[in-house]
Amino acid sequence: MRNFISLLGPGLVFAATSIGVSHVVQSTRAGADFGYALVAIIILAHVIKLPFFQAGPRYAAATGENLLDAYLRLGKGYYISVVLLTFATMFIIQAAVTIVAAGVLANILPFGWSIGVWSLVVLLASMLLLITGGYRLLKNLMKAMMLVFLVLCVTTLCASLLSDRPEQLATAPQLLSVSSIAFIVALVGWMPTAIEVSIWHSFWVVEQQKLDEVNASQLNSSGTAPIASKVKIRLLDFNIGYLFCCLLALLFVALGAQVLFGRGIPLQDSAIGFSAQLIAIFTDILGPWSKPVVSGLIFIAMFSTCIAVADGFSQVITRIAEQQFNLDGSKHKLAYHLCIPVIGIGGLAIILLFAGQLTSLVDFATTVSFLSAPWFAWLNMKSLTLPNMPVASRVTSGYNIYTQCCLACLSAFAIFYLAWRLF
């Protein structure tokens, strides 16, 4: 058991990436604005996206390659489309997760600095940790935080259900209004996160497999773990992280519904103001003593997301550079270290332009992910049929039917939204 726990890693990093904006911001907004009306949609989003997220660890564990390599195998056009989408969204996504972490930090340290300065602090800290610690530090940072965060959310929700809260005003959420549909699209776009994060996950799995090779308890007599064993462990690791994502999303919806829904409390649009409201959800129920604990945990959750996003994009850009410029392995580390500040500078520039528009920035980034989801889903599905993918590690025919149904749903949702916006 201890050996298995030590192997857990990419799934936890995936969960930490997801728990950021989609849970802390979007799920709380869903509960505050709609009560429990969007619970089914959140569960459906997890069910529909599951097979496409699983493609990352499945392909990486079976082939030793990342999904970016798989897209190149599919064809140059597919690969270029992913490259273009990556460059079009990387700064916006980095900005969206950073500005929330900066808002939480501003509520912890009362220095009176602007959100731009706090964002610079968060980005500098993220870059420093990645350059000096890399993947090992990223993985170890998640394990304790995630469990404590889950316990804190459950405790707060139970306390809110048992306490005497002000009676909610009678209100029925309008799910079919223009603003509601736009929010639901944004919610699903990053619930639990964008499908393109499966590319990052495949990078983390490849890195984890390098670490696994030195663990004697997982090796057979030839010194190499069987492919079937690798796939099984990595899928189990992912499924644990994915279930954790779903549970925390529902907990944040419940907290928003219990504390804010129907009470006439508008959510702030600034990062600092929203973060203060989020922290108040916990402290109003648990008491003032909990503020340092709550603030610290929320910051760690958001900060880990910043690190994971910066690492994910840097890994992808580094691999693109290696493929396009034929860089050898000795230059990988240098290219990776150069990419990290580029991602940070771009993210900071977006923040300075949209400092007071947290929800607008998040909604834009999540909507782009919603619309691109069918494309990434199809690419992931096709990657599992490549010739280098061992037949024994591919999905079963029954699971393939389920995957195709999920792809049809994602495509139908995207087409409906585009038609609704255009006509």
Say whether pLDDT at 44 is over 50.
yes
Q: How confident is the model at residue 5 (pLDDT cuts 50, 70, 90)?
A: very low
**Percent of the chain at pLDDT exceeding 90:** 38
Please count the residues of the chain: 423
Q: How confident is the model at residue 210 (pLDDT cuts 50, 70, 90)?
A: confident
Say whether pLDDT at 182 is over 90.
no
Residue 155 buriedness (CB in 10 A; 0-12 / 13-18 / 19+): middle
Q: How confident is the model at residue 3 (pLDDT cuts 50, 70, 90)?
A: very low
Say whether pLDDT at 132 is over 90.
no
Q: Which residue has the tokens 């996160």?
A: 193
DSSP string, 140-205: HHHHHHHHHHHHHHHHHHHHHHHS-PPPPPP----TTSHHHHHHHHHHHHTSS--TTHHHHHHHHH
pLDDT tens column, 347-390: 999 988 887 666 677 778 778 888 999 999 999 999 999 999 99
For residue 414, give both structure tokens: 């995207």
Q: Tell whether the torsion through CA atoms of 407, 408, 409 and 411 is positive or negative.
A: positive
Lowest mean pLDDT segment, chosen from 161-170, 302-311, 382-391, 393-402: 161-170
Which comes out higher in pLDDT, residue 388 or 131? Answer: 388
Provide mean pLDDT across the span 242-256.
91
The Cα 21–Cα 38 span in angstroms is: 17
The Cα 24–Cα 321 span in angstroms is: 34
Q: 352 to each of 95, 146, 199, 343, 421, how far by Cα in Å?
A: 9, 30, 28, 15, 29
pLDDT tens column, 105-124: 999 988 889 989 999 999 99
Provide mean pLDDT across the span 260-280.
78
Q: How confident is the model at residue 1 (pLDDT cuts 50, 70, 90)?
A: very low
The Cα 181–Cα 117 span in angstroms is: 34
Lowest mean pLDDT segment, chosen from 114-123, 131-140, 188-197: 131-140
**pLDDT (0 to 100) of residue 159:** 85
Q: What is the mean pLDDT of the chain?
A: 85
CA 90 to chain CA mean position, Å: 13
Say whether pLDDT at 240 is over 60.
yes
pLDDT tens column, 63-101: 999 999 999 999 999 999 999 999 988 998 899 889 889
CB 303, CB 122: distance < 8 Å: yes
Say whether pLDDT at 4 is over 90.
no
The Cα 323–Cα 329 span in angstroms is: 11
Query: Going by C-beta distance under 8 Å and a sequence separation of 6 or more, which residues neighbour residue 288?
Result: none
CB 265, CB 38: distance < 8 Å: no
Give pTM, 2 decimals.
0.89
Query: Going by C-beta distance under 8 Å and a sequence separation of 6 or more, which residues neighbour residue 176?
Result: none
Q: How confident is the model at residue 267 (pLDDT cuts 50, 70, 90)?
A: confident
Total Cβ atoms within 10 A of residue 193: 29
**pLDDT (0 to 100) of residue 2:** 42
CB 60, CB 287: distance < 8 Å: no
The Cα 260–Cα 336 span in angstroms is: 43
Buried b (16+ CB within 10 A) or exposed e, 111-122: eebebeebbbbb
**pLDDT (0 to 100) of residue 221:** 46
Q: Does an H or E element contain 387, and which?
A: none
